[in-house]
Structure 1
């Protein structure tokens, strides 16, 4: 799988929404929308209403990351708003994982499962064959700008090995501190989708087009080092 980039829109400048979305629509692979309820994490960010507005101005896949205590209360409205992926935390769905996974699928959306840093991969073994995307948090959830948790590199490698050994089809995604300092490590470990926020994209330049070009240059330089180290 080629490497994909998913801007985290909680980090964008909402006063420049149209300008930034117009630029990102021709460059990004998908959009990452954080929905927080103030309970699962002590923050409140975007909403299903934001997704419905975004849906009117983009054809890109929209991924709704439900950092909420009761995802069952958000699945219907998020799907109806236009989300293509609905990503729920294993920590919140394991009471009714199969029912909620099938609820997402019944809406025609793809299923994402998210693991907090301290949550082991094995938690999702009963239903991993049903998911489309596995998101590994490399920071504790809830706030942008946290430092990368290096121990998560091992979990990414394990997720890739698990996929290959069992012929699963999920994409591996990393949420948290995807930037110049971590691109190479994450790519080497086997990550497919990079969620890029402040440090990985929006803080690189006030102009979103320049920021994107800087991000891609940095990423290409880092992954080129991998190819030099491990020539085919």
Structure 2
């Protein structure tokens, strides 16, 4: 089984930025970059400038997760820095979703949408066919360390069924509190991508290689699946 991980870079040790990016580039399928505007959620995190710095030392694809009031502005900024995936919030896409998706695709990039815990799949049904990725939040958005929301996992299962029934191509990823306590429950829902942050990876050790080994062992203990990257 090919399990894909995307480290959430807002939880990394920025004092060891280069070392951690270089090590993880050989291990993971993509990097997850949270971009918050202080309005959609009460926090400010990473930026398109940060993506430029990552790209100077890594070819690993970057998936940008927008938590912003004005996704149109930020989509334009992320196209400029060639974020391979640009995922906008479903709650701010009503009336502009097709425009955003077309703009991202016209730039040769991939379009995704993010569903917060209270937002239902029905909100994005009109444009499911056009999506390359759907991110399911398993915590309330905006801060690291939030409580895991078990009920969000049903959306992952439902999206898998919809994809299979209709031949859609989107990837399904989960975001929030992915760690040794929740790995088995998440695994049973079968997302394509696990976003791992402080509790699942970066907070396990100050040494990134040790932290990675601990994370993969925790995943093996929880699921019986060995990570071979």
TM-score normalized by the length of structure 2: 0.95
Q: CA RMSD in A?
A: 1.1
Number of residue pairs aligned between Structure 1 and Structure 2? 225
Segments of structure 1 that go 5 or more residues without pairing to the other structure are 226-232
Q: Does residue 20 of structure 1 match 2:16?
A: no
Instruction: Give the Cα–Cα distance (whole angstroms) in 2 for the partners of residues 54 and 39 of structure 1.
Output: 25
Q: Does residue 152 of structure 1 match 2:148?
A: no
Segments of structure 2 that go 5 or more residues without pairing to the other structure are none
User: Match of 2:150, SS?
Assistant: coil
User: Match of 2:215, SS?
Assistant: helix
User: Match of 1:117, SS?
Assistant: coil
State the shift of 1:2 in Å: 2.4
Q: Which runs of 4+ in 1 moved over 2 A?
A: none
Structure 1 counterpart of 2:9: 9
Contact 2:7 2:30 in 1 (8 A): yes
1:191-202 → structure 2 map (5 Å cutoff): 191-202=191-202
Structure 1 counterpart of 2:219: 219
Contact 2:82 2:109 in 1 (8 A): no
Contact 1:36 1:68 in 2 (8 A): yes
Structure 1 counterpart of 2:90: 90
User: Match of 2:126, SS?
Assistant: coil
State the shift of 1:82 in Å: 2.4
1:70-149 → structure 2 map (5 Å cutoff): 70-149=70-149
User: Match of 2:224, SS?
Assistant: helix
State the shift of 1:78 in Å: 0.8
Question: In the TM superposition, what whole-angstrom CA distance separates every residue of 1:165-187 from its partner, at most 9, and x where no partner exists?
Answer: 11111111001011111111111
State the shift of 1:221 in Å: 2.3
State the shift of 1:156 in Å: 1.4
Instruction: Give the Cα–Cα distance (whole angstroms) in 2 for the partners of residues 71 and 2 of structure 1.
Output: 32
Instruction: Give the Cα–Cα distance (whole angstroms) in 2 for the partners of residues 82 and 51 of structure 1.
Output: 9
State the shift of 1:42 in Å: 0.4
State the shift of 1:131 in Å: 0.5
State the shift of 1:26 in Å: 1.1
State the shift of 1:84 in Å: 0.3
Instruction: Give the Cα–Cα distance (whole angstroms) in 1 for the partners of residues 82 and 9 of structure 2.
Output: 15
TM-score normalized by the length of structure 1: 0.94
Instruction: Give the Cα–Cα distance (whole angstroms) in 2 for the partners of residues 79 and 209 of structure 1.
Output: 32
Question: In the TM superposition, what whole-angstrom CA distance separates every residue of 1:42-86 from its partner, at most 9, and x where no partner exists?
Answer: 000000000111111101000111111001001121121121000
